[in-house]
Structure 1
Amino acid sequence: MHPALAGISLVVFDLDGTLIDSAPDLAVAVDATLAERDLLPAGVDKVRHWVGNGSHKLVERALADALGAAAESLDAGEIDAAHDRFLAYYADAPCERTQLYDGVHECLEAMRERNIACVLVTNKPVAFLPAILEQFTLASFFALTLGGDSLSEKKPHPAPLLHAAEHTGVAPARALMVGDSRHDVQAGKAAGFRTLAVTYGYNHGEPIADSAPDHVTDSLAVLAAD
């Protein structure tokens, strides 16, 4: 068994950039939102750098980039309006171009076989989760799924992770946070979880090792190994 799982009874997984590559569909919705305002498209490469703090922050970053302005200078009402349009576009097609990363199903099947509880904690709005989980047949693996708007706080705040631990009856010291960004690592450390980070996701262009997770891997398949 991978050393990250030694003594672990709960694994909390991030979604975007960890289990799924959702950036292509997010980029389509972002670019449609920008097009309504006669702004140039951002494209998927920029969107990959902006994902991680929830959809509202994603739209804020896209508007700031397209307008060549600081995010702090943007009108809050304009951001809110653009965010509403983004949500509508994304709801129309949340998984047309999204792909499941290699090793995900093997990893989750292994957790089930070992009776290790799994919880999904993402900053993506919870309304989008059912369709995505159904698309990739992931729902049955999770004892609980939390979106960025499920609680009053979202990652990097530890509250969602602590809620997951309480829900499953597992002490934080026996829990592992698996994610792709510094926000996941920060949330895991703040909650008293062990942390494992994947190298392939969205981390604002920074090497995930810089966030000093307890473990780093190129594939979740390593968690399925005996």
Structure 2
Amino acid sequence: MFSQIKAAIIDLDGTMIDTSPDFLVAINRMRSDFALAPLTLDVIKTMVGKGSENLIQKVLSVDFDADGVASHFNDALAAYQRHYLTINGDHSQLYPKVQEGLQAMRDLGMRLVCVTNKPLAFALPLMQKKEILHYFEHVYGGDSFAKKKPDPLPMQEACKALGLPPAQVLAIGDSSNDAIAARAAACPILTVPYGYNHGEAVQNIQSDGIVETLLVAAQLLSAKNSH
């Protein structure tokens, strides 16, 4: 399965960067604007991964019914995005062996694309700040296409941009979002065990394997391609 891989589509939040501390600050500053009590990091981690709109709906649903969520949503989303932009990357950090893994993949001749559900205006400065942007040919955010993961469209578009069949493009992510999108796009998928995955165990994800780090993923590809 991994012997013909020529490129990788890699997720951002929970896969390359632990952004949950940034979410914690931005969400709780937004909640403070609305006189709502702060949420804990553990609670916030279960809400991350399906894009900003989904995140804010979940954050508001802690305190409001469906009508309340709807009436506060636009103001809450605007406040959250304003707060997030001011602290983007300040509290987050790369997971272990991410840069080493990206470099190892590039050394193998692999082409890299980042597909994230994070808005592009957040993703690009964050990747620049953490010094990983230069590894990637393309970066696609949650607002790059009409649909976001778990829909396969972003993965399909990434394969098109690469000019490669999905079977030659490995997806790497931390959640069922990534696996469902990759499966539907016909890309092989590896998962890392340390991300968010909506509070579910990573072992429950229907992936083609769990790799401890991106460097381990690169080493697996190197071994498969050397035969």
Shorter-chain TM-score tier: over 0.9
Consecutive aligned runs of 4 or more in structure 1 exceeding 4 Å deviation: none
Q: Is the 8 A contact 2:106 2:135 kept in 1?
A: yes
Q: Alpha-carbon deviations, 1:89-120, whole Å to 9, x = none?
A: 00001011101001111111111111111100
Equivalent residue in structure 1 for 2:76, among 82, 95, 101: 82
Q: Alpha-carbon deviations, 1:67-108, whole Å to 9, x = none?
A: 1x45x4434241121001000000001011101001111111
Normalization by structure 2: what TM-score? Answer: 0.93
Segments of 5+ residues of structure 2 without an aligned counterpart are 223-227
Aligned-pair identity in percent equals: 35
Question: 2:7 matched to which residue of 1?
Answer: 10
Q: CA RMSD in A?
A: 1.3
Question: 1:110 matched to which residue of 2?
Answer: 104
Q: Is the 8 A contact 2:104 2:215 kept in 1?
A: no
Equivalent residue in structure 2 for 1:50, among 47, 53, 58: 47
Question: 2:225 matched to which residue of 1?
Answer: none
1:64 counterpart = 2:61: yes
Question: 1:164 matched to which residue of 2?
Answer: 158
- The separation in 2 between residues aligned to 1:100 and 1:188, in whole angstroms, is 23
Equivalent residue in structure 1 for 2:32, among 32, 35, 39: 35
Equivalent position SS for 1:85:
helix
Equivalent residue in structure 2 for 1:193, among 187, 195, 210: 187
Q: Alpha-carbon deviations, 1:5-52, whole Å to 9, x = none?
A: 421111000000000000001110100111111110012211111100
Equivalent position SS for 2:8:
strand
Equivalent position SS for 1:184:
helix
- The separation in 2 between residues aligned to 1:212 and 1:224, in whole angstroms, is 20
Question: 1:221 matched to which residue of 2?
Answer: 215
Q: Is the 8 A contact 1:110 1:223 kept in 2?
A: no
- The separation in 1 between residues aligned to 2:201 and 2:187, in whole angstroms, is 21
Task: Count residues in correspondence.
Answer: 220
Equivalent residue in structure 1 for 2:94, among 97, 100, 103: 100
Letter in 2 for 1:12: I
Question: How has the CA–CA distance of structure 1 residues 210 and 162 changed in structure 2, closer, same or farther, with 3 Å as cutoff?
Answer: same
Question: 2:136 matched to which residue of 1?
Answer: 142
- The separation in 1 between residues aligned to 2:148 and 2:136, in whole angstroms, is 18
- The separation in 2 between residues aligned to 1:130 and 1:211, in whole angstroms, is 28
Equivalent position SS for 2:103:
helix
